[in-house]
Structure 1
C-alpha cells in the first residue's frame, strides 16, 4: 500500500486549517510566522502580526492554512484565550536559549489549554535553535519526554531556527497534518497499538475488499484496494515486498491465499508508527469514515419529516437480512446468539449498540446470556422505534448491502388507525404508568421471563422491555413496554406530543393498597385528560398487581365504578410473585390492535363532547329554520306571481 497522494478529498472535508501560535514574550513567534510565509528572516517585526494565510499549494494536502499570532501581554490574555478556543491546532513556542520558557510550557501554557478546554493537537516548537549554548547539548527526546508523558495532547515536538531557516516549513506542516490526519482517533501512544474503533473500521474495510470471502486479500484484491484508495495500481514486485515485510514481522499476517486481517491491521500500525498517518486516513476516508471513525452523515439517509404519531419499523427486506445474519453468527446452531457472538457480529461497527441503556437488559436472554431470534429482532425493533437512523447506520456497519432507505418504513398515523379501527404497525409501544411500589418493574421483568424478586429497587429513569407476543390467530406482534417512573410523569406530559408515540397506556396499582389505587386513578385521569386536550387519545388498561395479597376494602366496588365511568375494561388482576399473568401481555396487544376501543373518557371530556353536540344541534336547528324560511319565502313569491297574473 502506497502513501496517499496529495488531495483534499483525503483531508476530512476541511476547507481551511486554523493554527494559533502562543508562548512567552521573546520566544520567536512572529519571526517564525514571517519566515514561514515570506521565506525571509525579518529584521523588524511588529509585536503581533495580523492573520497570515499560507496558500493551498504550500503543503501536499492542498488545504489553505491561516496562522494566528497572539500577544504576550497580560492585558491581552482574554483575547488570546478566545483565539485558542477557535484553534484547529495550537503551536506553543519556547526559546532554545531560555530554559525558563520551556519550563513555562508545563507550568503555565499547557495547564491553561486544559483550563480553557482546548482539545486540539498541540505542537511544541523550540525556536532560536541557533542561539542555544553549545555546551548544553541535550537531545530533544530527553527534554520533551517527561512533558509529553504528562500532557498527551502534545502531538509533535520540533526545534527550529528562523534566522538560519532550519525546519521552519516543517513546523506548520506538522501542525496542519495533526489536524487533517490526527493520531488520537487511530493510535494509543501508551500501548503503541491501534485503537479499538480504528481496528473495527479497518476490519469492515478488509471484509468489503475480500470479495471471495476466503479471509485473505489475494494479489488481485490487494491491487483493487490500492486502486480504489490511491488511484494507482501496485506492481507485482510491490505486492511481493508488502507481503514479505508482513511475513518477516508477523508470520500469521500472510497465508497461501494472501494478506490476512491480522497482516492488514499490522501494516496500518506500521504506517502510523512511521508517521504515515495520511495513508490510513486516506483508506478510512475513501470508505466514508469521518474524523471520529464513524460513517459520514451523508452516507446515512435521513427519513425526512414525519408526524409525531407515526413510528418507524423494519421492512421485510431488512428482517430477512437480519435473520440471515443471526444464522451466520449462530455458529453452534443452538438458536441463540451469546454475548461473544454479538460482539463478533458488531465487530465492524464503532461499538456494540446494545451495551448501554436503553437497549442493555431490555430483552429476554437465556441462562448463558444468549438472544433467541425473536429477542434479537425485538432489540432491532426497539432501536428502530427509538432511533431509526442509528438502526440504518448499524445495518450498514454489519454488511447490509441494499438501499439503506429500504431497510425501514414509516407507519400510518395513529389517528388514522383509530378512524379506520385497525392497526398499521407490527411494533406496539405501551407506556406503563403507576405509583411507586405498584409493581411496574416486576411486570417488565416478567415480560422478559425474569424471576420474581422480593427486593424493591426504585426506578428513577425510564426503562424499556421488548418481546414478541403470540396472537391467538397465529400472528406475532412486537410489544415494547416503556416504564414511566411516577416522578417522571409530569415531565413527560409537559410536551403536547408526549402521547403521540403511545399505542396503549397501562396503569398499574398495588391491589392491596388503597392509596396506590387512588394514585393510579389520578394518573389515569391525568393521562386521559392530556390525550383529550391534545387530540392524542390512547387506549388504556388497568392492572391490579399483587393479586396474591388481600385486596383493600371496597376495591372491587371502586374499580368497577371508575372503569364503567371512564368506559374502559375493569382492572386485570395479576400476581408476578405467583406467575399468574392472566394473559395480560396478549390483552395489552389486543387492546392496542383495536385503537378505537378502550379509550377513557373524563368528566371534562364528556362535558366538552356534550357541549360540541349542543352547538352542532343548534347549528342544525338554525340551518333547518333558515331552510324553512327560504322555502316559505319562495312559496309566497310563487303565490304572489300567480295572483298578479290571474288578476
Structure 2
C-alpha cells in the first residue's frame, strides 16, 4: 500500500478502451491524435482521421486503446452522435488561443452529451498551448473550476501542444485511466470523501484481512494484504512509514495492535486525493469487485434449476446466520434493531431489505426490530425469490464456506406429488380472492399485525413470511403471496406461473354471495391452468369473516364445490376475532402432502374419461392385433405341417 507496483492484468479488466475525440472545428483534434500515435508532429493531417490504435505497451495497464476522430461539420452530426454514444470516454477539445471554443464546452458540447445520455467520463483538453497569448496567462484550475462544478462528469482537465510535443501522451493516459480507474464510484469530489459503497467494500476487505479479528491490521496482516494485492512484500521500514503517515494525520488510525479501519479508509482517501486511483481499484478488483463496486458476476456461482424447483438455505448457512444474529445483537435483547441490522449489512453495497417487498414481509416489533425467526424468515424469502442475490449477500457478510454450500436446490414438485410428500423447508402459498375478501388481513395477522377495519387495496404482489411449527422437530417457513384480483389474468397467461407455487388458497367473504362467486371462478381458473400446464397445486378454500352473519347459500355451494372438486371443506376463520382454525398449520400440512387436495374441474374430469376410453380402445386394438398375429402364426404352422405330411 506504500509504493506503486506495476499493474498486472486482472480478470475483470476491459479488453479495450474506446476514446472518442470531439470539439469545435480547428481545435486540433486530428493533430492531437496523429501526434499521439506517431510521436511526431505532422503539420498537414487529414480533416478526420480513421480509427487509430495506440501501442498496447504505451501505458502500464497494457489495455488496447482505439481513438475515434470526429467531424465538426453539421452534416455529420448524426454520425458524431452515434460515435459519442459508443464511447468508453470522451475527450473534448478547445483551442487555447480561441476563448470562444472553451465557452462552447459548457454551452454546447457538455449539454449535448447529456442530451445524448452519454454517461461516461469526460477529459477536457486545451490544445495549441504554444499559441496562447502570453498576455492572457490564467491558471487552468481557475478557468476550469466553475465548469467542473457544473459538469461533474469531467474527470480531468489538461493542456497540451501537439506541435511542441507537450503532454500529448498524458491526454490519452488520463482518458484510459478514467475508464479503468474511474473516480466517480469511489470518491465524492464535492465533499472530498469516499463514497458509501466504496467505504462498505473496503470495510469488508479490511475484515477479511484482519485474520485474528482484533479490529486492526498487524504488521504481518498488513504485509499479507500487500502481497495479495500487489504481489510484493512491504519492508519493515515501509510499514513504519505507513503507520506514521496515518498517525500524524489521524491519531485513531493506528493503535497498539496496528492499522485500524479508520486508518485503512484514510489511506485510500489519501491515495485518491493524490490521483492514485489505480491503487484502490487494484485492491477492490483483487477482492472480486467490478466497476460498480459490487461482486463481479463470476463471484456468485450460477444455480441451475427447473421452474418447479426452488432454492433454500442449507443448515450450514442457517447456523452461520444464527451466529451472525447473536454477534450483532449488541444489547442482547433477542432482537436486531434497525441500527444493528444496518451494521450487519455494512459490508454489503447496501442493505438488501430496503423497499416494501422485504420491509413489509416479516414481523417487526414496535422499534422495527427483527427476532431470530423473523431474521431467518427474511433470508428464506430472499433465497426463494432471488437465490443469486441471497448468495451474494451471504458472501458480503462473511459466509466462510464455498458459496454453493449455503444453498440447496429442492426436488421437482412433480416428483413430490408422485412420492406423496414434500421435503421442502420453505413453502410458498399463493393467496387468491376478490377485493375485500380478507386476503390482506390474513397476511397481516400472519406477521403479527393488529386487525384493522380500514380497507387498503393491494395493487401488486405482496409477501408475508413466518415460521410455522407443525411439531417440535418440524418447523417450516411459510411464504404467503397475495395475488391481487386484477393480476390473475396475467398470471394464467404464463404457462409456468404455478410452477413456483406449493399450495393455493382461495379466500371469500362468507357473508357475501358475490365474493364467493368470484372466488369460485378464480379457483376454476387456477385449477384449469394447472391441469393444462401440468403444474397442478393443492388448493384450500377459506371462508373469511366468520364473525359476520353468513350467507347460507354461499356456505352450501362452497361445501358442494369442495366435495365435487375433491378438496378439503371450506375453512371458516375470523381475523377480527383472532380465530384462525389452525389455518397456517393446515396450509403447511396440505403443501407437505401435495398429492392431496388437488382440485378437479369438470373439463379435467371429462379429459380423464376420454383418456380412459382411448386407453381401453387402444388396449382392445392391441389385444385384437395380438390375437390376429397369433392366429396367423398358428395357421402358418398348420399349413406347413399339412404340406410336410402330404
Aligned position for 2:97: 97
Cα distance between partner residues in 2 of 1:63 and 1:644: 92
Per the TM alignment, residue 6 of structure 1 is displaced from its structure 2 partner at its CA by 2.7
Q: Could you tell me which residue of structure 1 aligns to residue 507 of structure 2?
A: 508
The 2-side partners of 1:285 and 1:522 are apart by 55
Shift of 1:634: 5.9
The answer as to whether partners of 2:430 and 2:483 remain within 8 angstroms in 1 is yes
The answer as to whether partners of 1:567 and 1:598 remain within 8 angstroms in 2 is yes
- Find the aligned partners of 1:28 and 1:351 in 2 and give their Cα distance: 45
Superposed counterparts of 1:46-125, under 5 Å: 46-125=46-125
Residue equivalent to 1:600: 599
Deviation of the 1:635 alpha carbon: 6.1
Question: How far apart are the structure 2 equivalents of 1:632 and 1:493?
Answer: 53
Query: Structure 1: how far apart are the matches of 2:557 and 2:407?
Result: 45
Aligned to 2:567: 568
**Does structure 1 retain, via aligned residues, the 8 Å contact 2:566–2:600?**
yes
Unaligned runs of at least 5 residues, structure 1: none
Q: Give the corresponding residue for 2:247.
A: 247
Q: Does 1:483 align with 2:485?
A: no
Residues 512 and 554 in structure 2, CA contact (< 8 A), matched pair in contact too: no
> Can you list the C-alpha shifts for 1:9-63, whole angstroms capped at 9, x where unaligned?
2594112111100000011111111111212221111100111111111111111
Listed as ranges, the matches of 1:114-193 within 5 Å are 114-193=114-193
Q: Secondary structure at the match of 1:199?
A: helix
TM-fit CA distance, 1:449: 0.7
Q: Distance in 2 between matches of 1:24 and 1:637?
A: 100
Question: Deviations for 1:125-160, whole angstroms, at most 9, x for unmatched residues?
Answer: 111112122222222112111111111100011111
**What's 2:284 paired with?**
284
Q: Identify which range, 372-381 or 527-536, moves more after superposition.
A: 372-381
Q: Distance in 2 between matches of 1:642 and 1:36?
A: 102
What aligned pairs does 1:15-414 form with structure 2 within 5 A after superposition?
15-304=15-304, 306-414=305-413
Deviation at 1:589, TM superposition (A): 0.5
State whether residues 3 and 276 of structure 1, in contact with CA within 8 Å, keep that contact through their aligned partners in structure 2: no
**Cα RMSD (Å) of the superposition?**
1.7
SS in 1 for 2:448: coil
CA–CA distance in structure 1, aligned partners of residues 414 and 10 of structure 2: 48
The C-alpha deviation readout for 1:212-238, integer Å capped at 9, x for no partner, is 110000111111111111111111111
Change (3 A) 1:636 1:295: same
8 Å Cα contact 1:374/1:467 also seen in 2: yes
Instruction: Call closer, same or farther: CA 1:601–1:473 in 2, change over 3 Å.
Output: farther
**1:9 corresponding residue in structure 2:** 9
2:425 and 2:507 mapped to 1: Cα distance?
A: 24
1:487-519 C-alpha deviation (Å, 9 max, x unpaired):
111111211111011100011112222111111
Cα 1:202/1:379, change in 2 over 3 Å: same
Structure 2 unmatched ranges of 5 or more: none
Contact 2:431 2:504 in 1 (8 A): yes
Give the deviation of 1:5 after TM superposition.
2.5
Secondary structure at the aligned position of 2:505 is classed as: strand
Contact in 2 for aligned 1:2/1:230 (Cα 8 Å):
no
After superposition, the C-alpha distances for 1:338-361 in whole angstroms (9 at most, x for unaligned) are 111111111111111111242222
Alpha-carbon distance in 2 for matches of 1:2, 1:638:
99
- CA gap of 1:160–1:615, structure 2 versus 1, over 3 A, is same
Give the Cα–Cα distance (whole angstroms) in 2 for the partners of residues 127 and 210 of structure 1: 49
Cα offset, 1:376, TM superposition: 1.2
Matched residue pairs, number? 646
Offset of residue 621 of structure 1: 2.3
Structure 2 contact 502–591 (Cα < 8 Å) conserved: yes
TM-score by length of 1: 0.97
- CA distances 1:517-568 after superposition (whole Å, capped 9, x unpaired): 1111111000000000011100001111111112224121111121112111
Shift of 1:640: 7.1
Deviation per CA, 1:586-631, whole angstroms, max 9, x where unpaired? 1100111110010010010000000001111112222333444455
User: Partner of 1:445 in structure 2?
Assistant: 444
- Is the contact made by 2:510 and 2:555 (CA closer than 8 Å) also made in structure 1? no
